[in-house]
Amino acid sequence: MAISVAARLAARRALEPLPLLEGDQDDGTLNKTLLGYVWRRPGKGWLLLVGLGLTGTALLTVAVVITVAKGIGMWGNNIPVAWAFGIINFVWWIGIGHAGTLISAILLLFQQKWRTSINRFAEAMTLFAVLQAALFPVLHTGRPWFAIYWLFPYPSTNRIWPQFKSPLMWDVFAVSTYFITSLLFWYLGLIPDLAALRDSSSKRWMRRVYGIMSFGWRGSARHWHHYKIAYLLLAGLATPLVLSVHTIVSYDFAVSIVPGWHETIFPPYFVAGAVFSGFAMVMTLMVPARRFLRLKHVVTPRHLEAMCKIMLTTSLIVGYGYLMEHFISWYSGNAADFYQYANRRGILHGPFKSAAQDPYIPIFWLMVFCNVVVPSIFWTKWGRTNVYVMWFASILINVGMWCERFVIVVISLHRDYLPSSWTIYKPTWVDLSLLFGTICFFSTLFLLFLKFLPAVAVQEVKELRHELDTEHERHELPEFSQEAIHPMELEVGEEDEQEEKLR
């Protein structure tokens, strides 16, 4: 025999998934580690970060006040680049907000056990990201107080109704439905954990606050009976919803006739990009959070690796989208389309050579680098298991996805059909403050969530632990599975036993 038994054993073990929960956990230890930090005094680092976040939020407030008081002339938008930072940031944030529902709903329906430790976290991220997203179109209307009757069909004294044939109206319905459904889904999952916080509190006022927030949940079997079904149905609803939201966002572009926007590939390409950036944001937040909240036993390398694989897959879809756009621009034989993409790449020939000086060319190549080249690192096991690598990659992916929206919105518009109106767009300090301010506001909300609510769905992790234990006891798991057994358990004696079996 050329290969030793030990080597074969090691190879088989390497192919088995890593554990979902590390260490010898029971309900007591899970309560202590997953609920305990809510009762701890906030650390200096947390206070410092919240302080920074609030400072940035103050800047956001200033930018919002200036925009509303003086009008959107304070932004860098012009004609033909009438859509710029407002829409870029809207699409970027709403894309980030797609991972939450994907993780909680689609992975729930596919019975992916690894979703359990990260779903609460990702859902909270979704909510906060959609909040930031909603700010931009509202401000972009210029007079947000009129936006109510432009956008919502309520019987106003003007006796006019919104135009439902416009993709922008579809967007209003899609985004508001998405926000409400995500909020309800998140809160429904949170109720049992809020009850657990109520019951593990030591002070009366804390017990009151969490008691009110949990609506008096008592974990009755008669409630769980309906709860399980309601949760599953909400997941089933959220699945087509999450796909519909970014599809409809892509209609904002695809339904128009601007070269670079009018494309049938947009819906799937936008959805994949949204999932891509959403997972990247979950990764950016999760890597530090699991360290500082001491969640490494529930958010294991298994979870991180799975997220890296999803990022790699969606990066390939996005890369395919880029390739196809450029191919079709040549294949269609449409001069405006051809020029649009040649101008993005900066690789021009013939009569278009003069446009090779376009200042936005580096943004296109930065996008390609961040979204296609960087995620290739996840082909290697090293990239998928090294937290520093995946953390930096996830940040670059988010930069890349922002650049993608810049490329789609600004580069397409600044080279419209009419060459006489071609111009260059530059963001003003108000634009930049809005972008930076929303990042800070998002971080502040997220830090508050991490402090006051359980960041991991405790109830679901307990259920998973019990399930894995039962399966392990009944020998329903594959022989080499590490799902429930902790590597520590695989002591020498057991290895001998397994070697025997292999022979």
Partner 1 sequence: MKRLVLAEFASPEPMVEAARKLRESGRQGLDAYSPYPVHGIDEALKLPRSKVPLMALVAGLTGAAGGYVLQWWTNAVDYLINVANRPAHAWPTNIPVTFESGVLLCALSLFFGTLFYFFRLPRPYHPVFESEEFRSASLDKFWVSAELKEGEDGQDLVRTLRDLGARRVTQVAEET
| Interacting positions 409-468 with partner 1 (CB under 8 A) | 459-460, 462-463, 466
Distance separating alpha carbons of residues 138 and 48, to the nearest angstrom? 31
The least CB distance from residue 396 to partner 1, in Å, is 33
Distance separating alpha carbons of residues 86 and 99, to the nearest angstrom? 22
The least CB distance from residue 176 to partner 1, in Å, is 8
| Interacting positions 219-238 with partner 1 (CB under 8 A) | 219-230, 233-234, 237-238
The least CB distance from residue 299 to partner 1, in Å, is 19
Quick one: which of 110, 111, 204, 216 contacts partner 1 (CB under 8 A)? 216
The least CB distance from residue 237 to partner 1, in Å, is 5
Quick one: which of 185, 266, 276, 446 contacts partner 1 (CB under 8 A)? 185
Within 10 A of 28 (CB to CB), how many other CB atoms are there?
8
Distance separating alpha carbons of residues 344 and 361, to the nearest angstrom? 6
Quick one: which of 165, 203, 349, 474 contacts partner 1 (CB under 8 A)? 165
- Of the pair 143, 218, the CB lying nearest partner 1 is at 218
Quick one: which of 39, 47, 143, 215 contacts partner 1 (CB under 8 A)? 215
Distance separating alpha carbons of residues 387 and 374, to the nearest angstrom? 15
End-to-end CA distance of the chain: 11
- The window from 166-174, 266-274, 313-321, 391-399 that contacts partner 1 (CB under 8 A) reads 166-174
The least CB distance from residue 193 to partner 1, in Å, is 9
Which 3 state secondary structure label does DSSP give 426? coil
- Of the pair 8, 208, the CB lying nearest partner 1 is at 208
| Interacting positions 31-50 with partner 1 (CB under 8 A) | 31
Token pair belonging to 112: 């992916």
- Of the pair 65, 160, the CB lying nearest partner 1 is at 160
What is the chain's alpha carbon radius of gyration, rounded to the nearest angstrom?
25
Which of 174, 403, 173 lies closest to 276, judged by CA?
Answer: 403
The least CB distance from residue 182 to partner 1, in Å, is 9
| Interacting positions 244-263 with partner 1 (CB under 8 A) | 244, 248, 251
169 is an interface residue for partner 1 by CB under 8 A: yes
Binders of partner 1: how many residues, by CB under 8 A? Answer: 63
27 is an interface residue for partner 1 by CB under 8 A: yes
- Of the pair 201, 340, the CB lying nearest partner 1 is at 201
Q: Nearest 5 degrees, angle CA 192-CA 193-CA 197?
A: 120
**CA quadruple 249, 250, 255, 261: dihedral, nearest 10:** 130
Residue by residue, what is the 3-state secondary structure of 113-166?
A: HHHCCCHHHHHHHHHHHHHHHHHHHHHHCCCHHHHHHHHCCCCCCCCCCCCCCC
- Please, are residues 383 and 390 in contact by the beta-carbon 8 Å criterion? yes
Distance separating alpha carbons of residues 186 and 200, to the nearest angstrom? 21
Quick one: which of 52, 78, 168, 177 contacts partner 1 (CB under 8 A)? 177
Contacts of 166 (CB under 8 A, 6+ apart): none
Element (H, E) at 409: none
- Of the pair 1, 221, the CB lying nearest partner 1 is at 221
- Please, are residues 193 and 200 in contact by the beta-carbon 8 Å criterion? no
Token pair belonging to 6: 């030990």
CA atoms within 13 A on the CB side of 384: 17
The least CB distance from residue 180 to partner 1, in Å, is 6
- Of the pair 410, 457, the CB lying nearest partner 1 is at 457
> What is the DSSP-derived secondary structure letter of residue 455?
S
- The window from 184-192, 273-281, 283-291, 494-502 that contacts partner 1 (CB under 8 A) reads 184-192
- Of the pair 226, 349, the CB lying nearest partner 1 is at 226
- Of the pair 94, 281, the CB lying nearest partner 1 is at 94
- Of the pair 26, 497, the CB lying nearest partner 1 is at 26
- Residue numbers of the site for partner 1 (CB under 8 A)? 26-28, 31, 153, 159-165, 167, 169-170, 173-174, 176-177, 180-181, 184-185, 187-188, 192, 195-196, 198-200, 211-212, 215-230, 233-234, 237-238, 240-241, 244, 248, 251, 459-460, 462-463, 466
